[in-house]
Structure 1
C-alpha cells in the first residue's frame, strides 16, 4: 500500500545542520515527502528561520498544518550562543570573511553584569543589515550586498532570560530566552558596544521554540524514516 499525508497534516522537528539554509531544510523535507508518497505538490513551511551558520531546532509544518505557521512563529525562543569580544564583522557573525580586530578590555565581572542587565526585559532592537528582514518589500541583505544604504527601524523585543558565562573571556557563552523577532547577532553586537568594544557571534544553537524542544528533533540523516512514520497507509 502507498503512503499518503494525514488529513490534518503534521509538524516535523528538525535539528538544522551548520551551513544549511532554512530553505534547504524545507526543500529537503518536501523532496523526501514527494519521494515517499508520489504526491507532486506538498505544502511545507517553517515557523522561524535560522541563519546558515546557526544550528538547532526548526519547526516545520506539513500539509494543512501550514495554516498554523503564523501562530507557531509567534512563539518564544531559546538559544545557546557564543560571542567573541574584541572582534567585529558587518554581518555581526562569521558569514562575512573580513573580521576586524578591535582592542579587548580586560574582563570586569561587575561591569559586564551591568551590561547584561541592561539587555534583560523589553527593549528596542535593530536587525543586522545583512538579514532577511524586509524593507519596502526587499530583503535587507540584498541591498547591503549591493552596496546600497540600508535603514532599519528598531522593533520592540523582549528578553525574558539572559545569562552569561565569561570564564573563557573574550569568548562568552550566552543562554537566551526571548520573544519572536529577536536577533541574537544584534544582541551580541550591542553587548560589545555596551562593554566598550565590539563583539561578533561565533556560534548559535536554537534549543526551544514554544513547546517544542531540540531534544525532540531529528537529524537530517534520520529525516526520511521519521517522515515515513508520520504518513498513513493509502
Structure 2
C-alpha cells in the first residue's frame, strides 16, 4: 500500500464511477477512505471532469500535489460509448426527465444514420443542454431550468474527432465518440435526432478514456476503499 507521504506528494487514481452516483459523491468516498485509513483531517482530493449521475465510467481523481494537474487532464481528448434512443425528446436530453415530445422513426434507415454522423465531425457549434452545471448570472443552468425559467444558452465551439455507430436496433443506436473538452454528449444525441428528421435523447453513457487513461484500469469507489482497508489491516 502507498504511504500517506506518497499520496500527499501526488497520486492519480482511475475510478469507474457507478450509475446514479454524482462525481462529488465518488470523490468524497475516495477522500473519506484515504483520510480514515491514514487518520488525517486534511488531504487534497479533486476530479478532472464531471460525469452526470446517469453516466458511468472513467473519473480521474487527483490526490495531494497532483490536484495541480486537474486542468491539464480536463483539457485532454475524451472517449465515450453509449446509446441514443430515437423517437422522443426530453428536456434534459437524457433520462433525467420524461419524454416531452414524440417523433416518427419509420423513415430512418441504416444508411441515413451512418450519413448523419458526418455532419458532426470536426469543429462544430454546439449548444449545451439547459439541464447542465454551466453558470449564467451566477446560477447553475439546471437550477434555472428546474425553476421553469426560460434561458438562452449560447453555443460553443467543440471538436468531434470520431463518431462511430456500433449497433443499430431502432429505436436504439449505439455509438462511440472521441471528442474535445466541453462536448456534451446529451446535446449530440439531441442534435443527432434532428439530423434524422426525428427526435432523440441519450439513454446510456459511459466515459471510457481521458487522454491515455482508460476505464479498463479503473476500479469502483467502494473497491478502492476496500483495498485501502485490507492493506492497512495486513
Alpha-carbon separation, structure 1, partners of 2:168 and 2:156: 32
Alignment partner, residue 108 of structure 2: 107
Alpha-carbon separation, structure 1, partners of 2:210 and 2:79: 7
Query: Secondary structure of 2:175's partner?
Result: strand
Structure 1 residue 110: Cα displacement: 2.8
Structure 1 residue 230: Cα displacement: 10
Alignment partner, residue 33 of structure 2: 32
Aligned residues: 230
Once the two structures are superposed, residues 128-154 of structure 1 have per-residue CA deviations (whole angstroms, 9 ceiling, x without a partner) of 000111223321101111111212111
Report the TM-score when normalising by structure 1: 0.92
Query: Secondary structure of 2:9's partner?
Result: coil
Once the two structures are superposed, residues 164-200 of structure 1 have per-residue CA deviations (whole angstroms, 9 ceiling, x without a partner) of 1353112000100000010000001000011111001
Flag structure 1 segments of 5+ consecutive residues without an equivalent.
Answer: none
Contact 1:3 1:36 survives alignment (8 Å): no
Contact 2:103 2:198 survives alignment (8 Å): yes
Q: Which runs of 4+ in 1 moved over 6 A?
A: 228-231
Moved more, 128-137 or 116-125: 128-137
Alignment partner, residue 157 of structure 2: 156
Flag structure 2 segments of 5+ consecutive residues without an equivalent.
Answer: none
Alignment partner, residue 4 of structure 1: 4
Alpha-carbon separation, structure 2, partners of 1:215 and 1:85: 29
Once the two structures are superposed, residues 182-220 of structure 1 have per-residue CA deviations (whole angstroms, 9 ceiling, x without a partner) of 000000100001111100100000000011001110123
Report the TM-score when normalising by structure 2: 0.92
Alignment partner, residue 138 of structure 1: 139
Alpha-carbon separation, structure 2, partners of 1:163 and 1:99: 28
